[in-house]
Structure 1
Amino acid sequence: MNNKKRHILTIGKLSLLILAQALPSIASSEDGVNKSEITIGGVMDLEGRSSRLGLGMKAGIEAAIKDQTVAGKKINFVTLNDSYNPTKTKESTNKLVQEKVFLFAGNVGTPTAKVALPILEDNKIPAIGFFTGAGLLRNGSDNIINYRASYVQETKAVIDAALKQGVRPEGICAYVQNDAYGMAGIKGIRKALDNASNSGNSIKALDKILKMEGNRPKRNGMGPVGVYARNTFTARAGYDSLKLWERKQGASCRLVVTVGAYDSVSRFIAYAKSKNEPWVYSAVSFTGAETLASTLKKFGVSDKVIMTQVVPLGDSNLPIVKEARNALGKEYGHVSQEGYIVGKLLLHGLRQINSPQGTSDASSDTKKNNADKPITRENLIAAFKGNKFDLGGLEMDFSDDNQGSDLVVLTKLLKNKWVPLKDSNWNALLNMQVAQSN
């Protein structure tokens, strides 16, 4: 064999060796991941009537990932507006899928999630920390990781407290958005009343309402529930539905659980107040704490409103709360704090992919294998599933489901701010009702 042929064969062998070494990295490449960055996406209301929620989540996530790297890669967060409109959600979701983002994080809303999740599922794209407590994200899907407590947990927490203070089941009423979001709240009410005595009439009516199908069925006049259409502000029909329930039961609503958007909920409360109703109202976290308080202030409402929170209160000494306050500055609030937590949760998962796991006596081969894992969607989900960990003082537990936190904090409106609701406060709220209804 002459030198020329030997040289050609040597080059060929080297080429094959280089190709063989490159194949693992080629095979492990993932959409949205390259040598310098990881691109994630989010679809939320940035321009519509619920834009304060979308902007808050966006600000929180961006603050958490700012200047952070994972395996030497920066995190690039691309967001698109949907104005809390499912049709726009579908369009924006498909666009980001086509742009090959690694995952979706911080999407806002239940009806919007309802159309986005099937698209993500078809493309095996993870959904991380969506701003909704609906059950459709808690059905055991392999590609969904939730931070927050569910709406069922939120509504059950406030109703359990009310029942404990002597409110009767027929006095538990609701004003909700007439869609999957609102019905998630009704399911929570139904569950809370399940073991309450003399709750048969309420449960029967709630079951009938929950079984109704179609796009915005006529749920008013069916029981202790008033409904409104998403992105509308007319409160009268829902109010009249509750008054009809009172007449049929011969008893007044004592607590009206609201599950809706901040503008619609605040207008309903203001309308009922104008009718001199002695009701106490509650709202779930999605309503937006700061925005609801400021909107209620415009209508002259400053008391008798309870709100469930799924993040620690702002004066907490937890490290993650202090970090969020410092990072967000004037943009800090309950919603942006949740976004910050979601951002930190995402960073934790990504970093765990390459983190040596196991006990200190784990074999060096095991640790090396963990350290060599590529950043893939499958490996990210595996970093959460079955694990417990501390996130800046917040306990995350994914050992038996896809929801990290069960935290629900009851707060009440006091001088346009949310403060902890104590058991002793209930008497004052309910006695205020009696005094005003005489």
Structure 2
Amino acid sequence: MTAGLLWAHSTSASALHQGVSSQSIHLGSVLALQGKAKGLGKGMQHGLNAALQGKIVKKRKIQISFENDFYVPSKSIAGTKKLLKQGIFLMIGNVGTPTAKITLPILKEQGTPAVGFFTGADLLRQPHPQPIVNYRASYIQETEAIIKEAIRNGLQPTQICAYVQNDAYGMAGLKGIMLAMQEVNAPHSMLEAYQKLLLMEGEDPPRNNIGPVGVYTRNTRQVLKGFQSLKNWEQKTGYHCKLVVTVGVYANIAHFSRNAKSKGEHWLLSAVSFTGAENFMKDLKRYNATEKVIMTQVVPLLDSQLPIVLEAKKALGDQFGFVSLEGYLVGKMTLKILQAMPGELTRKNFMDQVQKTKLDLGGVSIDFTKNRKQGSNLVISSYLTPTGFQKMTPKIWELMLNFSN
């Protein structure tokens, strides 16, 4: 029996019609609209609204309700339960891994599809029967891309360190780092340290001073302990960090960069897409720490001439950016699937249509026929310039690596 059939059999008939009336299709989203990650939540909200709000599917108008969770798991639970009680057809565009980790079981129990969440965590990509639809590439793909590029351009595995958020999000990124480092034959001591960190459980366990990794507590600006963890690793092993792969949120990662530079470090800093490009750039400019910053993107670069990017730019106006573009792509992808879905507006029909979906979304390829959980594998390595993020090239790698000597 396929995953889709297993899910369908476990879901009551009444649940299939939740969120659909004769006049509307009600969607829900739980994300950070206040707090230290609000830039991410607001970006996704702008993108989803521009792509979906008021659009018509089967003579019904799409409505989206947003709940603020401050990027705090306990508040995400409350927001999720509130929306489910109201009745939603699906949950869309939620922000974060720790919040997803704690709310996915609730959505599973209700048979509610989780669509286009703003996270690249592996827990949303496992081959289980829960109805999950990802737009974006995974953190494993993002970290693998940057590490392999660094190695191709002359870096040694022992020159690659990590600084991550001390929770499910950071560990999802660290898993990707470990897998990539295995492929480039990193020393056994480094791989053992990653494994030890990944096996630690609990809320904010003591992960500093164990390997070539520093960590920080979610929703804080504390950076000194994580920074010192990397310096202790250097002192203990004789290795020297040249590239620090970060997996965190813009406020802390920018503060970490400023602190490292103030201590005389010339590290290259890479960040995954979840960090939030626009807010990250603003903070780095404020700290005068904009040099040697690399970021992986899972949407086209903002100066792209692809039709979907030009369309999003027009629709979003002043709110156009990397995060809002992702929200827009998630919204347009969902709209296309809803419009192509035959028969009644049921969750089963929606998920059946997802598994058949292969389309060109204005220049961005979406294909669920090979990977039932994820539509896009797009990862672009970019670097920060005075005018924004531009595509990385071998020449830029050379300049950055020479500058760090």
Which bracket does the TM-score occupy, shorter chain normalised? Answer: over 0.9
Query: What's the secondary structure of 1:308's corresponding residue?
Result: strand
Choose which of 105, 112, 133 in structure 2 pairs with 1:118.
105
* Match in the other structure for 1:376: 346
* Match in the other structure for 1:419: 390
Rounded Cα–Cα distance in structure 2 between residues aligned with 1:326 and 1:135: 33
Choose which of 342, 353, 359 in structure 2 pairs with 1:389.
359
Query: What's the secondary structure of 2:183's corresponding residue?
Result: coil
Report if aligned partners of 1:293, 1:416 keep a CA contact under 8 Å in 2: no
Query: What's the secondary structure of 1:43's corresponding residue?
Result: strand
Report if aligned partners of 2:16, 2:348 keep a CA contact under 8 Å in 1: no
Report if aligned partners of 1:169, 1:202 keep a CA contact under 8 Å in 2: no
Rounded Cα–Cα distance in structure 2 between residues aligned with 1:30 and 1:157: 41
More deviation in 193-202 or 110-119?
193-202
* Match in the other structure for 1:108: 95
Query: What's the secondary structure of 1:131's corresponding residue?
Result: coil
| Structure 2 CA distance for partners of 1:254 and 1:350, relative to 1, 3 Å | same
Q: Give the C-alpha shift of residue 86 in structure 1.
A: 0.3
Choose which of 346, 359, 370 in structure 2 pairs with 1:400.
370
Rounded Cα–Cα distance in structure 1 between residues aligned with 2:63 and 2:192: 49
Q: Is there any run of 5+ residues in structure 2 with no aligned partner, and where?
A: 1-12
Q: Give the C-alpha shift of residue 415 in structure 1.
A: 1.3
Matches within 5 A, 1:12-411: 30-141=17-128, 142-354=130-342, 373-401=343-371, 402-411=373-382
Q: Give the C-alpha shift of residue 198 in structure 1.
A: 4.7
Rounded Cα–Cα distance in structure 2 between residues aligned with 1:94 and 1:296: 37
- Counterpart of 1:395 in structure 2: which amino acid? S
Aligned length: 391
Query: What's the secondary structure of 1:194's corresponding residue?
Result: helix
Report if aligned partners of 1:297, 1:416 keep a CA contact under 8 Å in 2: no
TM-score (norm 2): 0.94
Rounded Cα–Cα distance in structure 2 between residues aligned with 1:228 and 1:29: 41
Q: Give the C-alpha shift of residue 239 in structure 1.
A: 0.4
Q: Give the C-alpha shift of residue 199 in structure 1.
A: 2.5
Rounded Cα–Cα distance in structure 2 between residues aligned with 1:325 and 1:416: 17
Rounded Cα–Cα distance in structure 2 between residues aligned with 1:267 and 1:92: 30
Rounded Cα–Cα distance in structure 2 between residues aligned with 1:121 and 1:150: 21
- Counterpart of 1:335 in structure 2: which amino acid? V
Q: Give the C-alpha shift of residue 210 in structure 1.
A: 1.0
Q: Give the C-alpha shift of residue 167 in structure 1.
A: 1.1
Residues 43-94 of structure 1 deviation map (CA, whole Å, 9 limit, x = unaligned): 0000111111101101101000144200111100000000000000001100
Q: Give the C-alpha shift of residue 35 in structure 1.
A: 1.0
Q: Higher Cα Rg: structure 1 or 2?
A: 1
| Structure 2 CA distance for partners of 1:27 and 1:152, relative to 1, 3 Å | closer
| Structure 2 CA distance for partners of 1:340 and 1:423, relative to 1, 3 Å | same
Query: What's the secondary structure of 2:404's corresponding residue?
Result: helix
- Counterpart of 1:403 in structure 2: which amino acid? Q
Query: What's the secondary structure of 2:389's corresponding residue?
Result: strand
Report if aligned partners of 1:303, 1:415 keep a CA contact under 8 Å in 2: no
Q: Give the C-alpha shift of residue 338 in structure 1.
A: 0.3
Report if aligned partners of 1:386, 1:400 keep a CA contact under 8 Å in 2: no
More deviation in 155-164 or 198-207?
198-207
Rounded Cα–Cα distance in structure 1 between residues aligned with 2:323 and 2:363: 18
| Structure 2 CA distance for partners of 1:248 and 1:89, relative to 1, 3 Å | same
Rounded Cα–Cα distance in structure 2 between residues aligned with 1:122 and 1:408: 33
After superposition, the CA RMSD in angstroms is 1.3
What percentage of aligned pairs have identical amino acids? 48
Rounded Cα–Cα distance in structure 2 between residues aligned with 1:81 and 1:309: 25
- Counterpart of 1:139 in structure 2: which amino acid? Q
- Counterpart of 1:302 in structure 2: which amino acid? T
Report if aligned partners of 1:302, 1:416 keep a CA contact under 8 Å in 2: no
Rounded Cα–Cα distance in structure 1 between residues aligned with 2:191 and 2:355: 35
- Counterpart of 1:425 in structure 2: which amino acid? I
Residues 150-171 of structure 1 deviation map (CA, whole Å, 9 limit, x = unaligned): 0011011000001111211111
Residues 330-363 of structure 1 deviation map (CA, whole Å, 9 limit, x = unaligned): 0000000000001101101111113xxxxxxxxx
* Match in the other structure for 2:8: none
Rounded Cα–Cα distance in structure 2 between residues aligned with 1:266 and 1:404: 30
Report if aligned partners of 2:92, 2:115 keep a CA contact under 8 Å in 1: yes
Q: Give the C-alpha shift of residue 243 in structure 1.
A: 0.3
Rounded Cα–Cα distance in structure 1 between residues aligned with 2:212 and 2:239: 11
Report if aligned partners of 2:223, 2:252 keep a CA contact under 8 Å in 1: yes
Residues 398-418 of structure 1 deviation map (CA, whole Å, 9 limit, x = unaligned): 123210000000000111511
| Structure 2 CA distance for partners of 1:274 and 1:71, relative to 1, 3 Å | same
More deviation in 383-392 or 124-133?
383-392
